[in-house]
Structure 1
Amino acid sequence: MLDDIDRRILRLLQADPATAMPELAEATGLTPARATRRVDRLRADRIIQGSHAIIHWPALGYAVSVSLRITLDKAVARAFDEFISAARAVPEVIEIQTFLGRVDVRLSLIARDLSDYQRIYREDVLTLPHIADIEALMTVASVKSDESLPL
């Protein structure tokens, strides 16, 4: 079970994953050694599963973001596995989610511009196996993107 110090550590790391251990220790009232042990335990318990850079794709020339809702042909026994394996190989696919319901899979993909998206869609997406239906939703604006939990 998490105590108040664990929650404080998680809040601080959510706000800035690059927080140095001495700063984390000072902010939580622990010694650096005790703070390190706490963080190590949170990692060992898989509560902290890593840290990552958040990339602003337009700054790298990817101006188009599209969400594809895909329904698979459920008559094929390995449709999910084969589709996901093939989708992972598309470099522009940055996220794959599976669902219960009418839509089976959502792919998030990025492209440099509309002609690049059209190429990716025709050459890579439409050749993915077992697609029964597909709906493309182009992102106009990302209003909120935050994975932080209120701890």
Structure 2
Amino acid sequence: MIDDLDRAILRVVQANASLSTVAVGRAVGLSQAATWRRLDRLRKAGILAGRELALDLEKLGFGVTVFLGVKLAVKGRVSLEDFERAVSAIPEVRRVEHVLGLYDYRLRVVARDLADFERVLRRRILALPGVGDVEANVMLSEERLPGPL
């Protein structure tokens, strides 16, 4: 079980995971040792799982992000695991989400430009086994919001 102090620590770490234990402790009013013990307990409990590095994809040359809704043609003929494994092997696919609703999967795909995206879509994604209907939504902007803590 986590308490209000744990939640405060999680808010600080969520905003900047690169902070030292001393800085996190200072932000929530704890000593370095007490903060370290709490962070260690949160890691062991699986609440804190790894650290995520945020890359600026646009500065790396990937100026287009597209969300794809993918409906499998016939669910019984293609195993979900096979589809997930194949789509995850495409470097431009940054996220694969199995969802409930109109589509079976939601993909986050990055590309250099729309022509590059079209190439990835035609040559890689539409060539995957079992792909049926696909709907694309180009991301115009993104605002990162803090979590529900």
Q: So what's the TM-score if we normalise by structure 2? A: 0.92
Number of residue-to-residue matches in the alignment: 149
Who is 2:25 aligned against?
25
- Residue identity opposite 2:4 in structure 1: D
Who is 1:60 aligned against?
60
Q: Which stretch shifts more, 37-46 or 15-24? A: 15-24
Who is 2:83 aligned against?
83
Fraction of identical pairs, as percent: 36
- SS state at 1:127 partner: coil
1:42-121 to 2 correspondence within 5 Å?
42-121=42-121
CA contact (8 A) 2:77 2:130 kept: no
- SS state at 1:67 partner: strand
Q: Which runs of at least 4 in structure 1 moved beyond 6 Å after TM superposition?
A: none
- SS state at 2:148 partner: coil
For each residue in 1:37-90, what CA deviation from the matched residue of structure 2 results, as whole angstroms up to 9, or x when unmatched?
Answer: 100000010111122121221111111111110111334254311111100000
Distance 1:141 1:4 in 2: 33
Q: Which stretch shifts more, 110-119 or 74-83? A: 74-83
Who is 2:136 aligned against?
136
Distance 2:67 2:147 in 1: 24
- SS state at 2:140 partner: coil
Distance 1:133 1:36 in 2: 49
Which ranges in structure 2 are unaligned for 5 or more consecutive residues? none
Who is 1:145 aligned against?
144
Which ranges in structure 1 are unaligned for 5 or more consecutive residues? none
- SS state at 2:58 partner: helix
Q: So what's the TM-score if we normalise by structure 1? A: 0.91
